[in-house]
Amino acid sequence: MHHKRLNAMTKDEFSQEVKEFAYITNKKSIGFRAPTFSLNKETGWAIDTLDENGYVYDSSVVPAKTKLYGIPNADTKPYRISSDSVNQNSSDAKILEFPLMVTKFFGKKIPAGGGFYLRVLPLGVIEKAIKQYEIQKIPATFYIHSWELTPEHMPMVPLPFGDRFITYHNLHKAMSKMGKLMKEFQFTSFEKYINQN
């Protein structure tokens, strides 16, 4: 609710936030994404809390290592996630994990599924990544923040250089790049994907 990284919270604090959010939304939310993709082996306890509160899916795993986050050995296709197994299928788990799309860029595995990566990577790199996922017949998980589509409504908050770059770099390009991707590929929601598969 307050976009705090999981490693900056206790399990009890997270549980309280999940319950408050359920109350505010009348329990309409069935999916979760950890702020700054902060789900990892140390914060896997969050999966138990989501399970206890009726969540169906999660999309907090990035199968690549970045400076801020990532589980490089995580599976790239959807899998059942548990607190004990955040990187690969756990057959008895209930929550379905949709890991963020990744690709190779100059020989290094990097995230490519939206947000900052949509704004900074060449469009051709993202298109190629989606096509590779299509060949493998797995969904290319992609996200976008609402404020990236309406930068005119995004207040320029003073931030340290690194955070400012990640938040605002190429913000004016997000809408046109997203429009091109939507013309080229078919997108759906997690909920519809689950219901159809």
Q: Give the tens place of pLDDT for each residue, 138-164.
A: 999 999 998 899 988 878 889 999 989
pLDDT tens, residue by residue, 35-65: 999 999 999 999 999 999 999 999 999 999 9
Tell me: do 125 and 155 sit in the same domain: yes
Tell me: do 12 and 49 sit in the same domain: yes
Tell me: do 124 and 161 sit in the same domain: yes
From 100, 129, 155, give the residue that closes a domain.
100
| Mean residue pLDDT across the chain | 94
The whole-model pTM stands at 0.93
Tell me: do 167 and 79 sit in the same domain: no
pLDDT tens, residue by residue, 98-122: 999 999 988 899 999 999 999 999 9
Tell me: do 189 and 118 sit in the same domain: yes
Tell me: do 110 and 65 sit in the same domain: no
Taking the C-alpha atoms of residue 105 and residue 109, their distance in angstroms, rounded to an integer, is 6
Tell me: do 49 and 69 sit in the same domain: yes
Tell me: do 43 and 1 sit in the same domain: yes
Tell me: do 26 and 44 sit in the same domain: yes
As a dihedral over the C-alpha atoms of residue 72, residue 78, residue 80, residue 85, rounded to 10 degrees, the angle is 0
Domain extent for 149: 101-197
Number of structural domains in the chain: 2
Residue type at position 129: A
Question: What does the pLDDT read at residue 67?
Answer: 87
From 74, 100, 126, give the residue that closes a domain.
100
**What's the 3-state SS for the chain?**
CCCCCHHHCCHHHHHHHHHHHHHHCCCCCCEECCHHHCCCHHHCHHHHHHHHCCCCEECCCCCCCCCCCCCCCCCCCCEEEECCECCCCCCCCCEEECCECEEEECCEEEECCECHHHHHCCHHHHHHHHHHHHHHCCCCECECCHHHHCHHHCCCCCCCHHHHHHHHCCHHHHHHHHHHHHHHCCCCCHHHHHHHC
Tell me: do 184 and 107 sit in the same domain: yes
Q: How confident is the model at residue 72 (pLDDT cuts 50, 70, 90)?
A: very high
Tell me: do 195 and 130 sit in the same domain: yes
From 77, 100, 123, give the residue that closes a domain.
100
Tell me: do 69 and 150 sit in the same domain: no
